[in-house]
Homo-oligomer: A and B are copies of this chain.
Amino acid sequence: MLKGILSVLLVLVTLSSAIGKPEKTTPKKEKRIPQTLSRGWGDQLIWAQTYEEALFWSRSKNKPLMVIFHLEDCPHSQSLKKAFAEDKDIQKLADEDFVILNLVYETTDKHLSPDGQYVPRILFVDPSMTVRADITGRYSNRLYAYEPADMKLLLSNMQRALKFLKTEL
Contacts and interface: CB of A to CB of B under 8 A. Distances in A.
Copies held by the complex? 2
Interface stretch (A5-13, A135-143, A149-157): A5-13
A3 B50 CA distance: 18
Interface in A1-55: 1-3, 5-6, 8-9, 12-13, 16, 24, 26, 31-32, 34-38, 43-44, 46-47, 49-53, 55
A34 B31 contact: no
Given A44-B32, A129-B3, A131-B1, A9 B53 contact: no
A3 B125 CA distance: 13
A60 interface: yes
Contacts of A117: none
Nearest to A102: B49
Contacts of A12: 52, 56
Identify the 8 closest CB pairs spanning chains A and B, nearest first: A53-B105, A34-B43, A35-B37, A34-B36, A2-B129, A50-B50, A12-B56, A1-B130
A70 B1 CA distance: 23
B34 A38 contact: yes
B9 A129 contact: yes
A83 interface: no
Interface string A78-122: 000000000000000000000000011111110100000000000
